[in-house]
Amino acid sequence: MSASLLYALAGVALCGIGLFGFITLAHLLRKLLAFNLIGSGVFLVLVGLAQRHGEPDPVPQALVLTGIVVAIAATALAVVLIRRYFHLSGHTTLRAETPERVPGRLKPQTRGDNPE
C-alpha cells in the first residue's frame, strides 16, 4: 500500500465521518464543520489518487487550491447566514418551525404592503 493510496483512503474516511456528522448533528455550526470535513476528505482523495502514478501531478494541486478557495467562500456565506438567522430567530438549528402567516384582509392596497 503506497503512501498516496493511504492518503486517498484517509480522504474517504474523512468523507464518511463528515457525512455521518452532517446527518446526525443538529446545530448549524456543527453541520458546517462537518461539511468542511467532507470537503477536506474530497481534496485528499483528489490529491492522493492522482499521485498514484509516480511523479507529482500539478493538475490536482491546482484543482484543490481552487476547491479550497470555493470552500472558504461557501463557509463564509454559511457563517453569515447562520449568525443572521440566530440574531433574528434565536434558534441554532433548523428544526424549529415558524407559525403560518396570518392572511391579509381585503382592503385597498398600497405599494408598501407587499407581503412577499
Partner 1 sequence: MILGLMAGLLFTPLAWAVLTLLSGFERSRLISWLGILIQSLVSFALWAAVASEGGFHYQLGGWPAPLGIELRVDGLAVTFVMLTAVVGGACGWHAGIYLDPKKNWHRYFWPLFWFLWAGLNGVWLGADLFNLYVALELISLSAVGLVALGGQADALRAAIRYLMAALLGSLAYLLGVALIYGQFGSLSMGGISELLPAGSGQAGLIFALVLMIAGLALKTALFPLHGWLPPAHGIAKSPVSALLSALVVKASFYIAARLWLEFGEHLGSYGLAQLVGALGGVGVLWGSWLAFRQTRLKQVVAYSSVAQIGYLFLLFPLSWGVSEAVSLQAQQGMTLQVISHALAKAAMFLAAGNLIMSVGSNRVDALAGVSRFLPFSLFSFGLAGVSLMGLPPTGGFAAKWLLLQASLGSGQWWWLIVLLGGGLLSAAYVFRVYRASFIENSDTDLFFHPSRSLEVIPMILALLSLGLGLVAEPVLSVMALPFSKGGGG
Binding site residues, partner 1, CB under 8 A: 8, 15, 22, 28, 31, 35, 38-39, 42, 45-46, 49-50, 52-53, 57-60, 62-63, 66-67, 70, 73-74, 77-78, 81-82, 84-85, 88-89, 94, 98, 101, 103-116
- What minimum distance in Å lies between the beta carbon of 2 and partner 1? 13
Long-range CB contacts (< 8 A, 24+ apart) of 52-60?
52/2, 52/4, 52/5, 52/8
Q: Contact 11/48 with Cβ under 8 angstroms?
A: yes
Q: Contact 5/52 with Cβ under 8 angstroms?
A: yes
- What minimum distance in Å lies between the beta carbon of 8 and partner 1? 8
